[in-house]
């Protein structure tokens, strides 16, 4: 059995999708051992509703070291599912190739500091991009710079707004996140 730790900051719809796809075995041999949030958020409630252990570590300079102290040693994968804090380099390096993130754009475009949520979608509209999408990638010390694991795009039309893009991105995220997680856990390289 693979043990997952999921980090959240928001509504946690991607967390919900991971919970559901573990249940229906689209993600096989996996168990969420812990959900950690860096602020009060609905993601925590979703975890509690499924009897998953939760911890709230307030965001700030001690977040990564506090997380190190409580994260189970047998963790196979740390999944950032709408998580907004930046993890410290020491933490990222000690879990090399075991931390993944989902980003609401086609990395390497629209990544880096400050590029999250509506900031990404506003920038995509501003630049009159013809397509956008979502990317699952490894977390490395450089923000949003780790190798992409899975990416899927969709067409941006003239009528799209940041809100419609967010909706389309979420749909794609629900599709690719379970596939990427299952592949990492269960498909030999
Ligand atoms: C997602 O769009 C993800 O790409 C970004 O934050 C959003 C989280 O949404 N990192 P949710 O909390 O899973 O609903």
Closest residue to atom 6 of ligand 1, CA basis: 82
What is the C-alpha radius of gyration for the chain, rounded to an integer number of angstroms? 16
User: Would the annotation count 164 as a binding residue?
Assistant: no
Q: At what angle do helices 162-186 and 13-23 cross, to 10 degrees?
A: 40
Helix (H, G, I), strand (E, B) or coil at 114: coil
Return the residue matching tokens 């991607």. Answer: 14
* Alpha carbon of 14 to ligand 1 centroid (Å): 6
Cα separation, 82 vs 69, whole angstroms: 22
Which tokens belong to 20? 């559901």
How many whole angstroms from 187 Cα to the centroid of ligand 1? 25
The 10 Å Cβ neighbour count of residue 145 is 14
Cα separation, 129 vs 38, whole angstroms: 32
Nearest to 176 by CA among 147, 145, 136, 138: 136
> What domains, with CATH codes, occur in the chain?
2-186 (3.40.50.170)
Place of tokens 């925590």: 44
Contact 132, 165 (CB under 8 A): yes
Q: Is 12 flagged in the annotation as binding? A: yes
Residue 37: strand pairing partners: 8, 56
Task: With residue 30 as reference, give the H or E element that holds it.
Answer: strand 30-37
pLDDT of residue 188: 73
pLDDT of residue 189: 67
- Going residue by residue through the chain, which has 189 residues, state the pLDDT in tens, using 9 for 90 and above: 999 999 999 999 999 999 999 999 999 999 999 999 999 999 999 999 999 999 999 999 999 999 999 999 999 999 999 999 999 999 999 999 999 999 999 999 999 999 999 999 999 999 999 999 999 999 999 999 999 999 999 999 999 999 999 999 999 999 999 999 999 999 876
Round to whole Å and give the CA distance between 185 and 183: 6
**Active-site annotation holds for 118:** no
């Amino acid at each position: 059995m693979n043990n997952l730790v999921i980090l959240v900051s928001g509504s946690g719809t991607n967390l919900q999708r991971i919970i559901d796809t573990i249940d229906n075995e689209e993600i096989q041999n996996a168990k969420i051992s812990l959900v950690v949030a860096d602020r009060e958020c609905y993601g925590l409630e979703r975890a509690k509703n499924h009897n998953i252990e939760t911890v709230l570590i307030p965001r700030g300079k001690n977040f990564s070291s506090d997380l190190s102290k409580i994260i189970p040693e047998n963790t196979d994968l740390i999944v950032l599912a709408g998580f907004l804090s930046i993890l410290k380099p020491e933490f990222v390096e000690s879990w090399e190739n075991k931390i993944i993130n989902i980003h609401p754009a086609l990395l390497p475009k629209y990544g880096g500091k400050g590029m999250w949520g509506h900031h990404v979608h506003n920038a995509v509209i501003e630049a009159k991009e013809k397509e956008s999408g979502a990317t699952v990638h490894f977390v490395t010390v450089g923000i949003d710079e780790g190798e992409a694991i899975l990416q899927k795009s969709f067409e941006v039309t003239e009528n799209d707004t940041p809100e419609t893009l967010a909706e389309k991105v979420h749909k794609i995220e629900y599709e690719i996140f379970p596939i990427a997680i299952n592949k990492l856990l269960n498909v030999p390289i």
